[in-house]
Amino acid sequence: MPSFSPSKFTSVFLVSVILSFSLTTVAENRTTNIGVIIDERTRAGKEQKTAIEIAVQKLNSGSKDHKLAIYFTNSSGDPLEAASSANELIEKQKVRVIIGTNSWEETTVVAKVGERARVPVISSTTATLQPLSHLQWPFLVQMTDLDISNEINCIVSLIKSYNWKRIIAIYEDNVYGGEYEGFSILSEALQKIDSIIEHRLVVPHFTSPFDPKETIRDDLATVLTTKQSRVFIVLKSSLSTATRVFEEANKLGLTGRDSVWILGNGFSSILDSIDPLVFRPVEGALGIKTYYSDKNPRFLEFRSTFKSIFKSNYPDEDKSEACIYAIRAYDSVETVWRAVDRLGNLNDTDSGFQEKLLDTILSNNFSGLTNTIAFKDGKLSEPQVLQLVNIVGKSYKELAFWSPGSGFSNTSLKQLSIIWPGDLINRIPKGWTMPNNVKKMKIGVPDSTSFQRFVKVEWIESTNETKYSGFCIAVFRAVVATLEEQYGYTLPYEFINHTGSYDDLIDKVYYKTYDAVVGDVTILANRSKYVEFTQPFTESGLSMVVPVRTDPQRAWKFMRPFTIEMWLASGGILFYTMFVVWFMEHQVNREFRGRWMDQLGTALWFTFSSLFFSHRENIRSNHSKVVVMIWLFVVFILTSSYTASLTTMLTVRMLEPTVQDIELVRRDNAPVGCDPDSFVGKYLTDVLNLKNIKNITSQDEYPENFKNGNIVAAFLELPYQKYFLKEYCNKYMAIGPSYKFGGLGFVFPKDSPITDDVSGAILSLLEEGRIIDMENQWLDTSQNCSSSDSGVESERLSLDNFWGIFVISGATSTLSLLLFLYRLLHNKIEQRIISYHGSRWNNNNESRFRRAIRLVMIMLSLNPSRVQPRENLESSQEWNHQNPPQWELVSPTEVPEHLEIGRPTQLEIPMRKMEHNMTM
């Protein structure tokens, strides 16, 4: 066993202490160098530098294993200087990560430098990133999920909500020129919602050697004098350049009422930190800014620290609030720190360290100052949200939120309470106005119309000018006057007469040859695909007009008031009533007796004379009186209605069409006429399947063609049809269905902002009744036509109008007849029983009810052969050779005329004979 000496123990102890101290020193001295490229002259650069210093100080103080060393460089906003700074940081300072860059141009060149050196580059600038963009810049890490296309889609959604058609785009030029990518994206997105960029204002970069104020002033003056749009979108601009734009626009009056200013994310995101005096000229503007929550405890702590340090470092700055640039810079530093911490003791000089550092950065997942920091495809995986704000006073108010997946949180932006430029509150700004030096609008007018009361173009030799008149021209001139009164601007224009079809006019507007069309143009769906129509100023439709002829059936005019069914029903109820009255009166009334021919004549005469309330026959039976009373009521209604209808037919001239309906025209392939320049011919062929179509170029040619038989019908639009029927009073009529269309309106290009104002002026004229007055002035004729109804059949009285009283009359007659038959049968049976039982039956003290019961019992037990004795049969046979005994024919409610008081009646004689026979 080896011996253990004190000297050896001391040596081992000293070596252990030295090694542990050396390892601790190495661990404490392990530092990761980070390069930062910013523009220290800008507010964003100042905030980024302050936030990074705060992050490094806090993270280094809380870590014993490693430290972060920061190296700042100033790019001055120049991409070449940024690339040079990146090379210097990598080669001299040995940085392992680069943070910063304030523009996409700087980011791309620095990312290229980082790719060659295998150094990750973390940037918070926005750009249009494709799904495979991380393959193009594999070492680029985007500290945002928001790109330019999302910002522009948010702006386009805003424009679509308010239906602004023309836009002026403003953006700052690149240092080395070249097209700004966001402009092309905006132009393409606006085309999808039928809006256009009327003008783009490219302002010089703030690093330009000459003062850009003059250039900005000249460009804005051009907008003022020649452009209609007043919707300005500031896509990309530095704070200093945007400030100049606002000041010059305010001086020229481009920030007043009916102007709209939309500030992009690049400017709106620093609203919390800039001097309110900067955006005072554009008070009422809308801003699109990145949203972040300011309620996070970590953010509240950071904001407090940031304010104190920023105010100390930059005392000249008016506000010390942190904006989105500071937040992203802080999160970028923490992202690097966490990645290095996860790599442990891995030396940054080892092979593959940079790739491992990049992978570790992209695999981070932690809570940053405002949201979760996690990456996918080289950018933040959590979608960021944009916020719509309204600049009011020295601050702004929040309006709505927008996200790439769902759009605006408020589906109806028009309901938001927004203070627009010029303190406009009660209405939404139009977003356009007439420029000061605008050229006159070229308005096409059809010079060959079939009906010149609508549009008339004539050359005046004495004045050597073209005169435009007609109903449509009068309406347009009234609209122009209304625009000046209610909307405050003058619409300069000049008419240009156009020879050709109406479809050619539409094409001229579509291809920008004409700025508008004024005339009798019908609003159609296929035309609306290429141009925009105003509100219709008169209705439109298509109907068939044919000549009329006087009613030829004058000899039988008296039959016209009633339909065939009505005549048959009236005759049926008349003869039925005659039969019922005759049957009941025949029993008690001598005037209804005699030979059958006499009885039939009496019944017929009574019934027909009751039609004129001139009957002379006396009515005996109460049942008959009820029937006749109801019948006279029916007669009164029928005769009154017949007289009124016949009087109308004889005093009013009834007109009948020569052609009843379009089916006859289609079946016989009859020739029809229409205007050759309108859409009617194509509609008749394609929709109504008519083949034999004649072109009629003037309204005066229609009567001649009708007279010569060249056409049997004419198809006219509804406004023309009304005027044509008034012009040729009671000679033509419109028949068949009316095919409806959109009406007559004025035509403007798809992107014309004037359309809405013209439509509003037309509505005002309609509500005030001024268009009706113009119709009466231009389309009303001097003839006083009392047009007759073409539907003659509708004036004839049918059974549907009177079936109720027929039912009442028939039911009353039937019920009276049944009651009469019942009473008659009852009396006959009772008399027969009396003849058999004698005075035992005739008990005056017995009630009718008990007598009826006894009568039924006797009838059930009576032998028919015993009802009448044999000796009485002989007398019965003798009576049968003469008229029936009067007592058998007497109505149960009437007293026969031959019965007199004090004399024995025929009813008593048989009873006495029966009693005498029974006593023998």
Task: Select the more confidently predicted residue: 110 or 415.
Answer: 110
pLDDT value, residue 575 = 79
Q: Percent of the chain beyond pLDDT 70? A: 77
Give the DSSP H/E element, type plus range, for residue 260: strand 260-263
> Which stretches of 124-212 are DSSP H helices?
133-136, 148-162, 181-191
For residue 359, what are its two tokens?
Answer: 């992978």
Listed ranges 383-387, 589-593, 639-643; the one with the highest mean pLDDT: 383-387
Report how far residue 130's alpha carbon sits from residue 149's, in angstroms, rounded to the nearest whole number: 10
In tens, the pLDDT along 154-169 reads: 999 999 988 888 899 9
Question: 284, 392 in Cβ contact below 8 A?
Answer: yes
Question: Could you give the 3-state DSSP secondary structure of residue 747?
Answer: strand
The mean of the pLDDT values for the chain is 78
pLDDT at 882 over 50: no
**584 or 312, higher pLDDT:** 312
CA distance readout (Å), 101 to 15, 147, 328, 358: 49, 15, 12, 18
Looking at residue 702, the DSSP 8-state letter turns out to be H
- For residues 635 and 482, which has the higher predicted lDDT (pLDDT)? 482
* Report for 223-232, 614-623, 849-858: range of highest mean pLDDT: 223-232
pLDDT value of position 43: 84
Tell me how far apart the alpha carbons of residues 911 and 909 are, in angstroms, rounded to a whole number: 5
pLDDT band at residue 576 using 50, 70 and 90 as cut-offs: confident
Tell me: pLDDT of 500 over 90: no
Q: Of 811, 822, 817, 812, give the one whose Cα is nearest residue 621.
A: 817
Which has the higher per-residue pLDDT, 151 or 661? 151
> Are 243 and 276 a contacting pair, CB within 8 Å?
no
pLDDT of residue 741 exceeding 60, the answer is: yes
The more confidently predicted of residues 906 and 180 is 180
Q: What is the pLDDT of residue 801?
A: 75
**Band (16; pLDDT cuts 50, 70, 90):** very low
Contact assessment for residue 272 and residue 368, using Cβ atoms and an 8 Å cutoff: no
Confidence band of 903 (pLDDT split at 50, 70, 90): very low
> Are the CB atoms for 787 and 727 separated by under 8 Å?
no
Distance CA 522, CA 528 (A): 10
Does residue 561 contact residue 645 with C-beta atoms inside 8 Å? yes
Cβ contact 431:228 at 8 Å: no
Q: Is the pLDDT of residue 783 over 60?
A: no
pLDDT at 97: 93
Judged by average pLDDT, the poorest of 422-436, 727-741, 826-840 is 826-840
The pLDDT value recorded for residue 896 is: 43
- Comparing 386 with 177, which gets the higher pLDDT? 386
Residue 920: pLDDT above 80?
Answer: no
Lowest-confidence segment of 4-8, 544-548, 802-806 by average pLDDT: 4-8
Could you tell me what percent of the chain has a pLDDT over 90? 17
Average pLDDT rounded to a whole number, residues 672-681 = 83
Sheet containing 67-74: which strands, arranged edge to edge? 67-74, 31-38, 97-100, 121-123, 140-142, 379-380, 372-376, 365-367
Question: What is the amino acid identity at position 731?
Answer: K
How confident is the model at residue 590, as a pLDDT?
67
Residue 27 φ then ψ, to 5°: -65, -45
3-state secondary structure of 778: helix
DSSP string computed for 828-878: HHHHHHHHHHGGGT--TTS-HHHHHHHHHHHHHH--GGGSS-HHHHHHHHH
Range with top average pLDDT, 323-337, 413-427, 838-852: 323-337
Mean pLDDT of 657-670: 82
Helix H segments across 656-750?
A: 662-668, 680-686, 701-708, 718-727
pTM more than 0.75? no
Mean pLDDT of 835-862: 59
Q: Which long-range contacts (CB under 8 A, 24 or more apart) does 639-647 make?
A: 639/611, 639/612, 641/561, 641/797, 641/801, 641/802, 642/561, 642/562, 642/797, 645/560, 645/561, 645/562, 645/795, 645/796, 645/797, 646/557, 646/558, 646/560, 646/561
Q: What does the alpha-carbon distance between residue 127 and residue 104 come to, in Å, rounded to a whole number?
A: 6
Span 872-878, mean pLDDT? 41
pLDDT on residue 866: 44
- Tell me the C-alpha distance between 602 and 617, whole Å: 9
pLDDT at 192 over 60: yes
The answer, yes or no, to whether residue 869 has pLDDT greater than 50, is no
Give me the pLDDT at residue 705, please: 87
More confident residue, 542 or 631: 542
How do residues 596-612 score in pLDDT, each as one tens digit? Answer: 676 676 667 766 676 66
Measure the CA–CA gap between 319 and 316, rounded to whole angstroms: 9
Q: Give the residue carrying structure tokens 């690093």.
A: 207
Q: How confident is the model at residue 144 (pLDDT cuts 50, 70, 90)?
A: confident
Residues in CB range of 718: below 8 A, 6 or more apart: 539, 540, 541, 542, 543, 738
Q: Is the pLDDT of residue 17 over 50?
A: no
Confidence (pLDDT) at 682: 85
pLDDT category of residue 626 using cuts at 50, 70 and 90: confident
Kindly tell me if the per-residue pLDDT of 850 is higher than 50.
Answer: yes
Please report the pLDDT score of residue 29 as a whole number.
55
pLDDT of 913 > 60? The answer is: no
pLDDT (average), residues 351-365: 87
Mean pLDDT along residues 784-804: 61
Q: In residues, how long is the chain? A: 920
* Closest-CA residue to 76 (of 207, 188, 186, 200): 207
Report the alpha-carbon distance of residue 802 to residue 621 in Å, rounded: 28
pLDDT score recorded for residue 745 = 93
Q: How far apart are CA 2 and CA 608, in angstroms?
A: 162
What is the reported pLDDT for 848?
60
Helix 908-919, helix 870-880: angle, nearest 10: 150
Residue 875 pLDDT more than 70? no
Looking from the CA of 158 toward its CB, the CA atoms found within 13 Å total 33
Q: Could you tell me the pLDDT band of residue 763, with boundaries at 50, 70 and 90?
A: very high
CB 451 within 8 A of CB 467: no
Instruction: State the Cα angle at 356 between 355 and 361, rounded to 5°.
Output: 100
Look at residue 907 in the predicted model and tell me its pLDDT: 35
Task: Please compute the mean of the pLDDT values over residues 752-757 and round it to a whole number.
Answer: 85
Distance (Å, rounded) from C-alpha 620 to C-alpha 615?
14
pLDDT in tens, 193-222: 888 899 999 888 766 666 678 888 889 998
Instruction: Give φ, ψ of 416 to 5 degrees.
Output: -75, 145
Look at residue 856 and tell me whether its pLDDT is greater than 70. no
Q: How confident is the model at residue 22 (pLDDT cuts 50, 70, 90)?
A: very low
pLDDT of residue 815: 84
**pLDDT at residue 790 tops 70:** no
Q: How do strand 286-290 and strand 386-392 relate by DSSP bridges?
A: antiparallel
Q: Quote the pLDDT of residue 668.
A: 84
* Mean pLDDT (whole number) for 346-362: 82
Which helix (H) or strand (E) covers residue 397, if one does? strand 395-403
Please determine, for residue 330, whether its predicted confidence score (pLDDT) is greater than 90.
yes
Lowest pLDDT segment from 12-26, 693-707, 754-768, 776-790: 12-26
Q: How confident is the model over 691-706, as a mean pLDDT?
A: 85
pLDDT at res. 794: 45
